[in-house]
Structure 1
């Protein structure tokens, strides 16, 4: 029984360690400027990681002090958390499976269309109330101002691989035919009817294309890239947790079997 409890304790210690990448993924998302403005995924990930840490700690204590009811509670709670983590992994994959940039002639950077993304993600940014808050947050960053410092010539800017938010929020859509002055100042559009965003563009450095659908699409494209990276971490951790849980269940069953035989022998003698 003591050996089995030691094994269970060691397994729960590993489960505690596996909560760290989950919490870390949530903290990393929270530190990214776009995710810190949207605030959708980071807190559920952090909370789930903390819950796994607490439940694994409870299992470790139950094994160390040989508290059967605490071990049973651990097995039930950890199974529920594994299911929740699996659902989260699937959800992230499903909502990020759509949405990619398209190429424009003579441009290295990509353009983004809001309708290319999943409806679930679009609903996070389409509400004017939600977008006003997100827009105010994005406008406080220096992501657009830094383009002016980095690119002076039009061709250098056209050949640049800027990120999706910069492409969608800091410049007008390419199809509008604006003339480049600097990365955040454009004049003389050729075709303002090409897209509603062509009319939304403003040379006011506090406005730019923050009111454009292309800005919302660029934000979602950036979020998609970051969420997919986080999803890989969560998937690897999920597989490891499942393996740890299965081994823990086997160890607990063996411990119970040993306990039954020990009591049987004591009764027999």
Structure 2
């Protein structure tokens, strides 16, 4: 009799643990598996009642089914192992999903935002700007003569320069500003809630900081680089009739044209798109 009671009790504990694990995963899961965990926890909870019944029956009548008691333990044990296995699988799947999202959002070399993510952030900022009527600025930054660095010192040194550029840029930019790599040595910088004068000041401060900061790399000597910056300002009171994707493409084109203007004017300088910009952003640095 006591053997049967012991087997039923062990079986009961296995199902209690399995049910608690399922309930915990239901409470913390935000995936499509959420309701599946709830149904599994409910089913296991109902099975607990079937394990308690035989124990009370033994105490009341002294009768028991030893075969049922023996089979109940492996059945409940396998259920617990199955739930633990599913839990491990879901956690691994969630971790993999988080890793994929992180890789999709960040450039693997520089750890700046990826092209897709920075464009998404700019698109979101357009919507936010049109809603709260605050302007923002978009800068395009490009390293001058970067091909010479790769050709003379190797691409591994060029990669180190790109990493340093992002780090040095973040030293100058505000906490609300974001940097994203859009290809090669070209980067976009989003400056939320920034007018033309503020954007010109930030861009010039960034240009000067990069020009005066030495890059320590695996090369035998430190390297100094310069950048050309093109910028544009989004005015939420203009072009209200255009769709968001059209405005995004227009902003990118304006920043790109301004950056090439800075290149054509001699590099290591800042230029802004548009005739309505203040004199500061037309200055040749």
TM-score by length of 2: 0.34
Q: Which of the pair is proportionally richer in helix?
A: 1
Q: Which of the pair is proportionally richer in strand?
A: 2
Max Rg structure: 2
